[in-house]
Amino acid sequence: MSASNYNWVCFECRTSRRHPKISGQIPACPDCGHECFCLGYKVEVPRRDAVREWRLLREECRKRLYARQDQQQQSNVRRQHDLEKEIARMEALGENKDRERQIRKLKEELTRRSTEPLTRREF
């Protein structure tokens, strides 16, 4: 089995298909059009009629995804604090062309990070 092929499942239809994982691309279910969820290649896919297993799997996947998003959010907030501190530190050093360019870059990153919305993907 190729490691680039992952199991993608549709929780609505309780189906799975193999598809490579490509950053930013989420295949849609050909039956219902819902976005598929990437299970990886280690998690066993339940039988189609195992309704309870599918429900548990869905809850587990949600929990894991949301926990990961929370972590990303936390590290994003940490990075924002670091940026603010660094900007304040550099601004206190006085005028300097190179430094101003660096400060501008840091501020751009800060703006980008503070406007990034946290999206809770429902699936």
Query: Which residues contact Zn ion (rule: CB under 5 A)?
Result: 10, 12-13, 29, 31-32, 34
The CA distance from 56 to 60, in Å, is 6
Q: At closest approach, how far in Å is the CB of 115 from Zn ion?
A: 33
The CA distance from 63 to 47, in Å, is 21
Select 20 or 30, whichever has its Cβ closest to Zn ion. Answer: 30
Q: At closest approach, how far in Å is the CB of 97 from Zn ion?
A: 57
Q: Which helix (H) or strand (E) holds 89?
A: helix 51-91
Q: At closest approach, how far in Å is the CB of 31 from Zn ion?
A: 4
Select 12 or 84, whichever has its Cβ closest to Zn ion. Answer: 12
Select 2 or 25, whichever has its Cβ closest to Zn ion. Answer: 25
Residue 30, CA distances (Å) to 10, 33, 112 in order: 9, 6, 35
